[in-house]
């Protein structure tokens, strides 16, 4: 069993004598002596609801409603199940404020996830980035680094597949206009925000209030810069974009959930290099375009939806709105295909 002490310069992990923790290890619960344990009492009836707000090199930090944050380990009972940022959990043994953190709180239950944002790696493995989000903010910069449709499209698919509402966020509007890049998404009527760091993102703040929003995007697009404007005490580190390569420096190294003023959460994530989707099927994408999906039921079997026999062709006709949506659908399907080919 590993124990840890905490100093200003970070945790010092010390190996202690081999033993398992049990409930008696939790010395931080004052009600212990007044509430005798009964065999009939459901296990962990006194567990509190918490949210996983960050995981840094395996170290899990949770928060509870009163604002307290603390380190936690997953209880033995959970076996190999692991938590991700955004998980809602039940914990026991939460340290009191100002108490030495010599024991970890224990996560005794992971609540069922309403969704989880996942991406697949080249080796076919799947990684859950975050769980239980309402909005996926897909962040691109107008330039430095250049915006990429492939990335936005794949992120859109990932959001649709999990029933998460995507938001398009374009940063660095002071450097160039994002209009041209955003044109193809117009017909999808997605919430779209064009921002610059010298202005307050008031509309976005208003929009995400009370919700859980995760920002994803390439390194250097300005996710942490944006979060610092939205959450006053965030103090997220930001990094210059490399002038020679136009790429970010992967400044943020782990996902962190920060509480919004009032209600809601915003999650900063490390810049992603790619967004693998081999776990997502074509039908998930089409389902995100309900009107197209209905028409596509008349397509020939195994239609790619980008061929002359495709039923969408006749349906589109001269309707500009339909044209836009089918074009967006086809572009997203193409992005899906280009990376799911093994
Ligand atoms: N001109 C301009 N620069 C910006 C804007 N937003 C962010 N930047 C700059 O872009 C650089 C990268 O910003 P970060 O916030 O670190 O980017 P990030 O997306 O968090 O990057 P990673 O943590 O590496 O994924 C910094 O130098 C910011 O000052 C903006 O609206 N306009
Ligand atoms: Mg960052
Ligand atoms: Zn078709």
Probe residue for ligand 1, chosen from 220, 230, 231 as the CB with the greatest number of ligand atoms within 8 Å: 220
Average confidence (pLDDT) over 106-118: 93
Between the CA of 336 and the centroid of ligand 2 the distance, in Å, is 26
Output the CA angle 317-320-325, nearest 5 degrees.
Answer: 90
Between the CA of 190 and the centroid of ligand 3 the distance, in Å, is 23
Three-class secondary structure of residue 195 per DSSP:
coil
Cβ–ligand 1 contact at 178 (below 6 Å):
no
Probe residue for ligand 1, chosen from 222, 243, 255 as the CB with the greatest number of ligand atoms within 8 Å: 222
Closest ligand 1 atom to 218 CA: 25
Count Cα neighbours of 2 within 13 Å in the Cβ-side half-sphere: 10
Euclidean distance between CA atoms 110 and 87, whole angstroms? 7
Domains of the chain: 2-110 (2.40.50.140), 116-268 (3.40.50.300), 282-340 (no CATH)
Residue 210 confidence (pLDDT) above 50: yes
- Range of weakest confidence among 22-26, 170-174, 191-195: 22-26
276 vs 3, 11, 139, 287, 310, CA distance in Å?
36, 34, 17, 19, 27
Cβ–ligand 1 contact at 229 (below 6 Å):
no
User: Cβ distance 149 to 331 under 8 Å?
Assistant: yes
Q: Strands 2-7 and 105-110, how do they pair?
A: unpaired
Between the CA of 308 and the centroid of ligand 2 the distance, in Å, is 44
pLDDT at 138: 97
Euclidean distance between CA atoms 281 and 270, whole angstroms? 26
Between the CA of 20 and the centroid of ligand 1 the distance, in Å, is 44
Euclidean distance between CA atoms 338 and 6, whole angstroms? 47
Between 31 and 235, whose confidence is greater? 235
- For atom 26 of ligand 1, the residue with the nearest CA is 240
- Per-position b or e across 65-79, b if 16+ CB within 10 A of its CB: eeeeebbbbbbeebe
Cβ–ligand 1 contact at 61 (below 6 Å):
no
- For atom 9 of ligand 1, the residue with the nearest CA is 222
Between the CA of 181 and the centroid of ligand 1 the distance, in Å, is 19
Ligand located closest to 241 CA: 1
Handedness of CA 258, 46, 107, 133 (dihedral sign): negative
Closest ligand 1 atom to 195 CA: 31
pLDDT at 184: 80
C-beta atoms surrounding 304 within 10 Å: 14
Instruction: Render pLDDT for 304-334 as a digit per residue (tens, 0 to 9).
Output: 999 999 999 999 998 887 888 898 889 888 8
DSSP state letters, 239-277: -PPPTTT--------S-EEEEPSSS-EEEE-PPPS--B-
Between the CA of 160 and the centroid of ligand 3 the distance, in Å, is 19
Q: Strands 126-131 and 135-141, how do they pair?
A: unpaired
58 vs 55, 85, 100, 332, CA distance in Å?
6, 11, 21, 34
Instruction: Render pLDDT for 36-46 as a digit per residue (tens, 0 to 9).
Output: 454 544 567 78
Scanning the chain, the segments in alpha helix (DSSP H) are 149-161, 179-182, 202-208, 223-230, 282-287, 290-296, 311-316, 320-340
Average confidence (pLDDT) over 269-285: 79
Confidence of residue 203 (pLDDT cuts 50, 70, 90): very high
pTM of the model: 0.81
Q: Which residues contact 124 (CB under 8 A, 6 or more apart)?
A: 278
Which position has the token pair 């006709």?
317
């Amino acid at each position: 069993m590993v124990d840890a002490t905490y100093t200003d310069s970070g945790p010092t992990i010390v190996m202690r004598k081999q033993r398992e923790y049990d409930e008696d290890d939790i010395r931080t619960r004052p009600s212990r002596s007044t509430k005798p344990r009964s065999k009939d009492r459901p296990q962990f009836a006194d567990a509190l609801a918490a949210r996983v707000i960050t995981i840094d090199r395996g170290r899990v930090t949770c928060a509870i409603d009163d604002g307290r944050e603390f380190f936690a380990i997953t209880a033995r009972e959970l076996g190999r199940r692991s938590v991700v940022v955004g998980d809602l959990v039940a914990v026991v043994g939460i340290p009191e404020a100002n108490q030495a953190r010599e024991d970890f709180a224990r996560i005794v239950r992971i609540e069922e996830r309403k969704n989880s944002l996942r991406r697949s790696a080249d080796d076919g493995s799947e990684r859950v980035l975050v769980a239980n989000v309402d909005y996926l903010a897909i962040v691109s910069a107008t330039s430095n680094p250049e915006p990429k449709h492939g990335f936005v499209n794949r992120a859109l698919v990932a959001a649709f597949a999990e029933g998460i509402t995507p938001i398009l966020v374009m940063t660095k509007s002071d450097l160039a206009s994002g209009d041209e890049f955003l044109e193809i998404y117009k017909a999808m009527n997605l919430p779209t925000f064009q921002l610059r760091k010298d202005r307050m993102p008031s509309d976005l703040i208003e929009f995400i209030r009370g919700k859980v929003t995760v920002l994803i995007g390439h390194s250097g697009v300005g996710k942490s810069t944006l979060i610092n404007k939205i959450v006053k005490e965030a103090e997220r580190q930001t990094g210059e974009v490399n002038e020679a390569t136009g790429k970010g420096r992967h400044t943020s190294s782990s996902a962190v959930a920060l509480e919004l003023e009032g209600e809601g959460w915003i999650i900063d994530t490390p810049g992603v290099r790619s967004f693998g989707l081999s776990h997502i099927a074509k039908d998930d994408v089409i389902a995100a375009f309900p009107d197209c999906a209905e028409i596509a039921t008349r397509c020939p079997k195994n239609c790619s939806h980008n061929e002359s026999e495709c039923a969408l062709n006749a349906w589109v006709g001269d309707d500009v709105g339909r044209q836009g949506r089918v074009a967006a659908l086809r572009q997203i399907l193409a992005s899906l295909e280009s990376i799911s080919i093994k």
